[in-house]
Amino acid sequence: MTNLPDSEQCLTRTSNCKINMLTLNCCGVIKRMHYPEFIDMVQKFDFISLVETKTDDLDKINIPGFTFHLKNRKNIARVKSGGIAFGYKSHLENFVKPVENFSSLVYWWKISSDLLKTDQDVMIGNIYIPPENSVYKVPDAFNELEQEFLKFSVEYKYILLNGDFNSRTSRDVEYIEIVHSQHDIVDTDNVDILNNLELYDMSKVRCSMDTSKNAYGNMLLEMCKNNNIIILNGRVNGDKEGKFTCRQASVVDYFICTYDFLCFVVNMYVQDFSKLFSDVHSPLILSLNFEDGIEEDVEKRGKCKRS
């Protein structure tokens, strides 16, 4: 059994369910598919999120052993732009389904609790927000994204956001910092986050090689604070330094999750940049472990309570 690919172990019901996920702004996926190195890289993962695919409804992503679905900016386009694709190993077909939504900025998918052995399904939001100075800029983009998140967070506690947010956040804190006094009414949600980041071997202070911010970065930070969601870049094993994700000069691509999702996170890596994979972006890799039947235990890592 240990020789099975990670996602196939999930189907055995007798082992931990380990999932590896890739998110990448590929700057046009069709041209990438001409490179065997790109195909080989993609095939290492269970779930794949590709953004700025520059596809329309006539395009298909054909990678052996994988199923891909596209959310295109336009049905048919002479000049193709934007676009989001979500892919998964084909043997997982019965455990994943798209979720209809209004916004063009995010492509939602639901991963079944039957696969992951969790007490709820997991929601994955694959995101591409055009740059704030782009002709494709979406007015009030972060309010639109936040409304999408709020809609699903009512029902789902395990939510993972990923993709290119075109947001530079520097090292600024994305949760509400607690200053204690004897007269304070303490926000227990924020105290819980702070206390448990260390439990999960995650840094309270997020690092980043990118020391600059932009307007979208401030909006992303505010969205995180409003909704108790955590940026994994610069905080998780594998990327404690907060490596550059774009042009080897900025951090704009992220994995971000709800507090309840933190206990599944094993590590996150920013892979070395290659022009075979993207014009300017580096691949981001997230490793997850959905342990079978574990219970809450403050002395061990990964303490998500199961049903």
What would the pLDDT profile of 69-102 be if each residue is shown by its tens digit? 999 999 888 899 999 999 999 999 999 999 999 9
Ranges of residues in the chain with a pLDDT under 70 are 1-6, 12-15, 178-191, 292-307
Residue 30 CB coordination number (10 Å):
14
- Nearest CA among 82, 128, 76, 136 for reference residue 107: 128
Assigned superfamily of 18-290: Endonuclease/exonuclease/phosphatase (3.60.10.10)
Classify burial at 179, counting beta carbons within 10 Å of its beta carbon; exposed 0-12, middle 13-18, buried 19 or more.
Answer: exposed
307 touches 292 (CB < 8 A): no
Segments making up each domain of the chain, as ranges: 18-290
Pairing of β 17-25 and β 66-71:
unpaired
The token pair at 143 is 């309010």
**What pLDDT score does 116 carry?**
96
Q: Is the pTM of this model over 0.85?
A: yes
| pLDDT given at position 176 | 83
Phi and psi angles of residue 281, each rounded to the nearest 5 degrees, phi first = -105, 150
Output the pLDDT for position 182. 53
> 224-259 in b/e burial notation, b at 16+ Cβ within 10 A?
beeebbbbbbbbbebbbebbbbbeeebbbbbbbbbb
User: ∠ CA(232), CA(168), CA(146), 5° rounding?
Assistant: 70
User: With contact defined as beta carbons under 8 Å apart, do 53 and 39 qualify?
Assistant: no
